[in-house]
Amino acid sequence: MAFKELLNLYQKRLYWHIRKLVITHENADDVLQNTFLRVYKNLPNFKQQSSLHTWMFRIAYNESIRFLNNEKKKKNESLDDISKTYLNNLTSDPFFIGDEVQFKLQQILAGLPEDHRHIFEMKYFDDLKFKEIATILGIKEGTLKTSYYATVKHIKKNMVNVELLSKNAV
């Protein structure tokens, strides 16, 4: 019964966290199932060194990366190439409800180095604290902040260009 409560409490947030990493709904569903299987199997081993929330996000992140690495091996492509392939399929995904600006943001994110993209997504979309992200990724908080703010600067610069292009096209 307690596991069902965990599922209800975290399923939606973990789904969207995973979805940003693996892009498509079908892949996110598969990875989410694997995440909850891993959480269920490892719950007795949870050492409470971080919050349950952070621990589950780390598992979801690792499952997403594991999935992407398996896709990379199958297709003999880099993770960045796989992300771009998924992005190209995004507009045909019936579950994508974004507008042009959201799609442009996804294009900019797809062009970022993988680690920068993940840091930005966890902070901006998942609203995780820097300390939580550092724990999930296993990196120093200072390094993470530097990467995040450089990524924000890059996105702002490119989003201004997108907005100018859209206004000039009209």
Which CATH number fits the domain that encloses residue 147? 1.20.140.160
CB 84 within 8 A of CB 108: no
What's the chain's average pLDDT? 82
Residue 24 pLDDT: 84
Question: In percent, how much of the chain has pLDDT > 70?
Answer: 78
CB 15 within 8 A of CB 28: yes
Q: Give the structural domain span for 147.
A: 2-169
Task: Please give the average per-residue pLDDT across 2-23, as a whole number.
Answer: 89
Report d(CA 92, CA 121) in Å as an integer.
22
**Which stretch of 15-29, 32-46, 64-78 has the lowest confidence by average pLDDT?**
64-78
What's the pTM value of the predicted model, to 2 decimals?
0.71
CB 91 within 8 A of CB 126: no
Report d(CA 122, CA 54) in Å as an integer.
11
User: How many domains does the chain fold into?
Assistant: 1
- Which residues touch 115 (CB under 8 Å, ≥6 apart)? 137, 147
Q: How confident is the model at residue 72 (pLDDT cuts 50, 70, 90)?
A: confident
Residue 49 pLDDT: 84
* Rg of the chain (C-alpha set): 17
Q: How confident is the model at residue 88 (pLDDT cuts 50, 70, 90)?
A: low
